[in-house]
């Protein structure tokens, strides 16, 4: 929901920082690898009950994730880079939920439900991205086509920060987050259904006009 305005507001500072890495020959894939390592460290810190350290590493991981895309846009994105980026994102998003569930046994059921909603949400937009390519739907410049939803990257960053800062409310916050992501799943299913129906109607209209 907030990704588009946040990307717009951060474009210039991230691009300026990306130019520094570009001049030093640091590739987007190298940044993705470093970000992944930092993300794994964040998950490990959370699982080990070092939540403030985990929070710092989580935010650093998200910063690097923004930088690798900015560098890629400066030098030219690659399909491999886009693939590695989304794989790293999914691994760390899921890893953070697993780490929280590991650290807080009472919240494990809620963490499992969040993990399930992540799985469904990811499946929805990955499936749409493939369909969007077939339908020639214009994206926003990223390697995949992301339909808008209540829970996007910005909301995920904020919610993880809230959970890591409010240890005593982990379980209830995870249940709330599971509900928010579930709403996003339904939004994306509805969006895909409407888009496909519109495309079918357009095709039918063209066929009848011939």
Q: Report the distance separating Cα 181 and Cα 189, nearest Å.
A: 12
- What pLDDT, on a 0 to 100 scale, did the predictor assign at position 156? 93
d(CA 151, CA 171): 18
pLDDT at 46 over 90: yes
Q: Which of 158-162, 189-193, 197-201 has the lowest mean pLDDT?
A: 197-201
In this predicted structure, what is the pLDDT of residue 144? 62
In a 3-state reduction of DSSP, which class is residue 27? coil
**Of 38-42, 113-117, 150-154, 166-170, the least confident:** 150-154
CA distance to 1, 107, 108, 145, 186, per residue, from 36 (Å):
25, 25, 24, 22, 29
Q: What pLDDT digit, counting tens, does each position of 51-97 carry? A: 999 999 999 999 999 888 889 888 888 888 888 998 999 999 999 99
- Calculate ∠ Cα 187-92-163, nearest 5°: 75
What average pLDDT is seen over the chain? 86
DSSP 76: -
Check pLDDT > 60 for residue 21. yes
Distance between CA 33 and CA 64 in Å, rounded? Answer: 10
Q: What angle, 0 to 180 degrees and rounded to 10, lies between the N-to-C axes of helices 79-103 and 108-134?
A: 170
Superfamily designation of domain 3-209: CDP-alcohol phosphotransferase transmembrane (TM) domain (1.20.120.1760)
Give the global pTM: 0.85
Lowest mean pLDDT among 7-16, 22-31, 84-93, 150-159: 7-16
CB atoms within 10 A of CB 26: 16
| pLDDT of 136 above 90 | no
Residue 119 CA, chain-centre distance (Å), reads 12
């Amino acid at each position: 929901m907030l990704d588009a305005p946040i990307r717009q507001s951060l474009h210039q500072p991230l691009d300026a920082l990306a130019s520094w890495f570009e001049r030093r020959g640091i590739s987007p894939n190298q940044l993705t690898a470093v970000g992944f390592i930092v993300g794994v460290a964040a998950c490990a810190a959370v699982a080990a009950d070092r939540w403030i350290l985990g929070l710092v590493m989580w935010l650093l991981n998200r910063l690097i994730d923004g930088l690798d895309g900015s560098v890629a846009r400066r030098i030219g994105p690659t399909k491999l880079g886009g693939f590695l980026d989304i794989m790293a994102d999914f691994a760390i998003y899921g890893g953070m939920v697993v780490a929280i569930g590991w650290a807080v046994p009472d919240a494990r059921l809620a963490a499992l439900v969040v993990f399930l909603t992540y799985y469904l949400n990811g499946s929805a937009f990955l499936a749409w991205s493939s369909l969007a390519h077939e339908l020639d739907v214009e994206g926003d410049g990223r390697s995949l086509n992301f339909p808008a939803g209540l829970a996007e990257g910005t909301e995920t960053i904020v919610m993880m920060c809230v959970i890591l800062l409010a240890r005593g409310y982990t379980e209830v916050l995870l249940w709330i987050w599971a509900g928010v992501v579930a709403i996003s799943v339904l939004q994306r299913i509805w969006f895909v259904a409407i888009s496909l129906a519109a495309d079918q109607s357009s095709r039918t209209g063209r066929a009848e006009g011939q």
